[in-house]
Each structure stands twice: as structure tokens, then as C-alpha cells.
Amino acid sequence: MKTSALLSMALLLLLVSVVPTTSSDQTPITIKVTNAVTNSPNKTYSTQVAFRGILIGALRRLQESSPCFTFTYSEHPDYGPFLESVNGLAGNFSERTYWELLVKKTNNHTIRPDVGIGCYIPNANEQIILKYNKY
């Protein structure tokens, strides 16, 4: 009885130390929503992602905390989750519009990550740019 209690205590401590939960483990980033098709006003939001956490986690957290940000995605069998709509505006195959993922690094260079929202791991103070664009 005593041994099993100690064991579960040890297990709990292990879990607590492995899963970072405090806010100091959060990586601050901003999300910019921009539209190259209609040139409607840009919107910028601040959010956090867990240390070494993936971008989709930050998008979900932002959606929960901010009523003015929404997004949907669909699950591609090979490429994983990709953005379908942001703030109610969806990419449209027949209109050749889509949501492009760009990242403005802290050195001000903008890159196009070669992975999607389910794999990209943001670094502190990066600006994630969700750009409605045409191909």
C-alpha cells in the first residue's frame, strides 16, 4: 500500500516535470492575417505556443481566447492538417484562392516554411503570416 502510494507520487512528479505547464514555458508569437486578393485591412494577434510546440496549437489557443479569430483546417492523408479558412474566409479551388503560410523571422526575413501548420514549430517573437492569396 505504502509502496504503491510512493510509486504513484513518483509517477505524478515525473508527469509534472515532463509536461511544461507554467507560462514561463510559453513562446510568444504574433499571428498576422492578411489578404493579397482584396487588400482588406491586416489583423495582428498576439498569442503563445508551448515550448517546442507546433503552430496549430497556438492557433487553437488564439481561437479560444480571442472571439475575433477563427480558423478551420482539414486533414490531408499525406500532408497533415492544412488551413481551410481564416476568420470565415475559405480558400476556393474554382477561384484559385488559398491560405498561404509565411513566417517573418526575428531578423525580418520572411520565409515560406516547407511544412504546414501541424509541423511548423515557431520560435519566440516570430510573426506567423496567414496570407489569403491566388495561385
Binding site for ligand NAG (CB under 6 A): 34, 39, 41-42, 90, 92, 94-95, 107-108
* C-beta neighbour count of 93 within 10 angstroms: 8
Rounded to the nearest whole angstrom, what is the least distance from the CB of residue 94 to ligand NAG in the complex?
5
| Three-state DSSP class for residue 11 | helix
Rounded to the nearest whole angstrom, what is the least distance from the CB of residue 64 to ligand NAG in the complex?
25
Q: Are 73 and 91 in contact (CB under 8 A)?
A: no
Rounded to the nearest whole angstrom, what is the least distance from the CB of residue 76 to ligand NAG in the complex?
17
**Which CB atom, from 30 or from 63, has the smaller least distance to ligand NAG?**
30
Nearest to 99 by CA among 133, 53, 60: 133
Cα 124 from Cα 133, distance rounded (Å): 26
> Which amino acid is it at 52?
R
Q: Are 29 and 48 in contact (CB under 8 A)?
A: yes
**Which CB atom, from 20 or from 127, has the smaller least distance to ligand NAG?**
127
Rounded to the nearest whole angstrom, what is the least distance from the CB of residue 43 to ligand NAG in the complex?
9
Rounded to the nearest whole angstrom, what is the least distance from the CB of residue 40 to ligand NAG in the complex?
7
**Which CB atom, from 59 or from 129, has the smaller least distance to ligand NAG?**
129
**Which CB atom, from 117 or from 130, has the smaller least distance to ligand NAG?**
130
Q: How far apart are the first and last CA of the chain?
A: 65
**Which CB atom, from 17 or from 107, has the smaller least distance to ligand NAG?**
107
Cell of 131: 496570407
